[in-house]
Structure formats: C-alpha cells, structure tokens
Amino acid sequence: MDKIIIRGGKPLSGRIPISGAKNSALTLLPCALLTDEPLTLRNLPRLADVDSFGHLLNQLGVSTMIEGARPEDFGRVMTLRAGRVTSTVAPYDIVRKMRASILVLGPLLARAGEATVSLPGGCAIGNRPIDLHLKALEALGAEIEITAGYVTARAPKGGLPGGDFGFPVVSVGATENALMTAVLCKGTSTLRNAAREPEIVDLCNLLVAMGANIEGIGGSTLVIHGKDRLHGATYRVMADRIEAGSYACAAAITGSALDLIGAKLDEMEATIAALRQAGVHCEEIADGIAVRPNGKLQALTLSTAPFPGFATDMQAQFMAMLCLADGASVLTETIFENRYMHVPELNRMGAHIEVKGRTAVVHGVERMVGAPVMATDLRASMSLIIAGLAAEGETEVNRVYHLDRGYERLEEKLQAVGADIERVGGD
C-alpha cells in the first residue's frame, strides 16, 4: 500500500492549479441518466471516486468516452450517453466504496420509473443516513421499499406527479437527489430549506443547460417545473473550493505565498473569512486567489455549519493549521459526530489537542515533529499532509488511498511549489 513521505520545513512559493470540484463532479455525472442525448463534462478531476462513478454508470448502460484535458482546463473531458438505461440496479460491490453512488437513485427513478440501489458506503466519519433522500422522493410520488440492504424506489403508473417537501435539516445529498428527480416529474415541485452550497448551484445550472425549469437557484426554496424530457449539454465543472481551502491552509501553516489558480472567492467566503481572522492575507486576483503570510497565526473559534457557514470538509485542515497558532482554538463539529479521528495522529506529531464530545480545543505549540501517521478519511488525510509540510523532520502518511478519492495530483502540485514530498510503494 502506498505511503507519502514529507520532509517538512520547506517554504512554498508559486501557483497551484485548482482542479474541478469532486463534490460537484459526483453530482453532475448522474445527470447523464436524465437524457438519451450526450452530456459532455469538462474540467473533471482525475480522482478514484470519479472513476468509480463512471464504472457504476457503465453498469447502468451509460457509455463514457474520455477525451483528455483541454488547454483551458486542468482536468479531463468526458462525454457520457445513456441512449437507453439497460439496468436500474446499482450493486453493492460498487456502491459500498462511495457514498455518492446514492445519487443515481433519483435520476434512475425519474428516467426509468424504478431504481434499486445498495445502501451506500464512503468515509467512516459517522452516521450519515439517507432517510431524507427517501422522504423527499416519497413527497414527489415515489413508492419506497428497503430490503436486504437495498433501496427500491418505484414511480406510480403514469409517472411521478411531483410535490412539495420541506427538509427538516439541510441535506446536500438529499437536495441533489430530489432536484434530479423533480426535473422529470409531471407537475411542479417545491423544495424548502434546500441546501445552498455552490455545488447545488452548479447542479442547477447544468440541469437548466439541459432544459430544466428551476426557480430560486442559490436560495433555500427551489421550484422545479417538471419537463417530459431533457436534452444533452456541454458543461464545465466548477473549481474545487475544498481543495483550494486545503492549499490555503498549507500556505498559512508554512508561512508561504501561494496563488490558487481557478479558485473563486465568492464560493468559499466562510473559509476566506476564517483564514483572515487567523491573520492570513487573502485577496482575489485575475485568475484565482492569492494567499500571503501576515505574521504569527492567531487562534480561532469555529463551528461547522451548512453553506454559507464554515464547511465541515474544511475542519480537519484548519485544525492542522491551528496547531501552530498563537493561543487556544476551539472547533465545534456540528455536521458529523465522528470527525475527529485525525486528532490522535496530529498529537503524535507534537500537537496539543483535547476533544470533548463535538468540541476540540487546539492549544497552539511552537513546533511539530514528523512521525509515522495513519490517514482515517479523506479530509483527515489532508490535515496530516498540511501538518507534515510544517513539521520538523520526516512525516510518513499511511493509507493514502483516501487522498486519491479527493485530491488530484497532490504530490505533483506540492512539488511544483517547493515541497519535499513523494509517494512511495508500501510493503
């Protein structure tokens, strides 16, 4: 099994191209099921999760063709076509590896009238039930049954009528599934307390490009006027705001200047606000965001929240950065109940972090020291990379397959700006 070796303490300088957003790409790919015409997605990141989703779509009858990168994009171009859906079953052996696989449930139901999807897997960061996905689909007219680890959804004779649904709590995935179902319903659907993440806006914009009629894009109430069919489109995946925020934390902890090419300030305002509060200089430039050192890092009090709040996917990276801040930082995780598994690993590197329930207190230390550490999930993996870049000596990060699910060409990008980092084969 591969591991990543980092010899820390090197200043970073230069430009890092930000890849297409993983969380957006995995939402846009299943839209291919909503039409029999070709859907071309540009700027797709080269990630294990994207490949896995492509394999899942292939099993459902979707053809995929990869064209490689274009000069204006860092990522790949993929054309998908579901001329006809040949299977409505998403099997356990693929779905168990990636939670996002549940996002084929709505499109299959809307297009084919039925769908059977294994209960999902993904990172072990706590209980992430899909009850809101199912309740939203029921509100749109679906009949739901759960047996032997599979969810089966069926449309009534004559198709899904559509309906109204208010999410009791904000759910990104459930909003996405409901949106992709509602666009092919017979009537008008209203989704209240819908998620407002930039990735939701990206999904809405693609669906509109395919002929959908959606009102309220960017707000918490979405009104979808169902169409009989959608058509193909060509669409560029948005830049990954979580990747950009991660590299910003790497710049901050090492006191380095980095330009994050393709990142957009208005898509990551909470992250930028927190960086600025910690004493990091961030400003918009013509082709991205400039991150500059501005003295000693300052302690923060942060609480994760749905967009436009501070993203749970940035919590681990900020925790690593704040290990070298002046004072004690308080981080509260409100989204997932098991997202502090990186804490023991950071403490092995000399951090001083105490966890009580959903709150972590990060006492800033003067220095960190490299050590062998174990990655436990995707964002935790990146927190260890960030810590390793600033630590004295050598850090060995094991189980890096988590990183390959969400960070494209990580070592290559960091090497290009001066990091001493390499991937080596494991035993």
Q: Pick from 274, 340, 335, 337: which is nearest to 305 by CA? A: 335
Q: Pick from 390, 49, 98, 413: which is nearest to 244 by CA? A: 413
Assess whether 218 and 254 both reside in one domain.
no
Full residue range of the structural domain in which residue 157 is found = 22-236
Assess whether 70 and 201 both reside in one domain.
yes
Assess whether 142 and 230 both reside in one domain.
yes
Give residue for tokens 């909003």: 175
pLDDT digits 0-9 by tens, 110-120:
999 999 998 86
Beta strands in 59-140 (DSSP E): 63-69, 76-81, 89-90, 114-118
Question: What confidence score (pLDDT) does residue 123 get?
Answer: 38
pLDDT digits 0-9 by tens, 63-119:
999 986 666 666 899 999 999 999 999 988 888 777 788 999 999 999 999 999 988
Assess whether 211 and 66 both reside in one domain.
yes
Give residue for tokens 């980095």: 258
Q: CB of 201 within 8 A of CB of 175?
A: no
Q: What percent of the chain has pLDDT over 70?
A: 95
- Alpha-carbon distance of 181 to 124, in angstroms, equals 28
Residues 6+ apart with CB under 8 A from 357: none
Of 182, 212, 236, the position where a domain reaches its end is: 236
* CATH label of the domain that carries residue 74: 3.65.10.10
Assess whether 281 and 407 both reside in one domain.
yes
Of 236, 252, 284, the position where a domain reaches its end is: 236
User: pLDDT-based confidence at 305, cuts 50/70/90?
Assistant: very high
Question: What confidence score (pLDDT) does residue 175 get?
Answer: 98
pLDDT digits 0-9 by tens, 192-217:
999 999 999 999 999 999 999 999 99
Assess whether 273 and 228 both reside in one domain.
no
Catalytic residues: 123
Say whether pLDDT at 122 is over 60.
Answer: no
What is the token pair recorded at 184? Answer: 């092919």
CA of 149: how far to CAs of 52, 77, 90, 116, 130, in Å?
20, 34, 12, 10, 12
- Alpha-carbon distance of 262 to 20, in angstroms, equals 9
Assess whether 363 and 377 both reside in one domain.
yes
pLDDT digits 0-9 by tens, 128-174:
478 999 999 999 999 999 888 889 999 999 999 999 999 999 999 99
Question: What confidence score (pLDDT) does residue 394 get?
Answer: 98
Question: What confidence score (pLDDT) does residue 248 get?
Answer: 98
Of 212, 236, 260, the position where a domain reaches its end is: 236
Assess whether 108 and 159 both reside in one domain.
yes
Assess whether 215 and 251 both reside in one domain.
no
Q: Pick from 57, 54, 65: which is nearest to 33 by CA? A: 57
398-415 burial string, b = 16+ CB within 10 Å, else e? bbbebbbbbbbebbebbe
Assess whether 8 and 113 both reside in one domain.
no
Assess whether 397 and 409 both reside in one domain.
yes
Q: Pick from 81, 85, 113, 115: which is nearest to 101 by CA? A: 115
Q: Pick from 234, 238, 204: which is nearest to 218 by CA? A: 204
The reported pTM is 0.93
Say whether pLDDT at 124 is over 50.
Answer: no
pLDDT digits 0-9 by tens, 243-276:
999 999 999 999 999 999 999 999 999 999 999 9
State the total domains in the chain.
2
pLDDT digits 0-9 by tens, 337-382:
777 899 999 999 999 999 999 999 999 999 999 999 999 888 999 9
- Alpha-carbon distance of 188 to 155, in angstroms, equals 16
What is the token pair recorded at 200? Answer: 């939701």
Q: What is the mean pLDDT of residues 319-331?
A: 98
Question: What confidence score (pLDDT) does residue 8 get?
Answer: 98
Which residues share a beta bridge with 392? 369
Assess whether 148 and 122 both reside in one domain.
yes
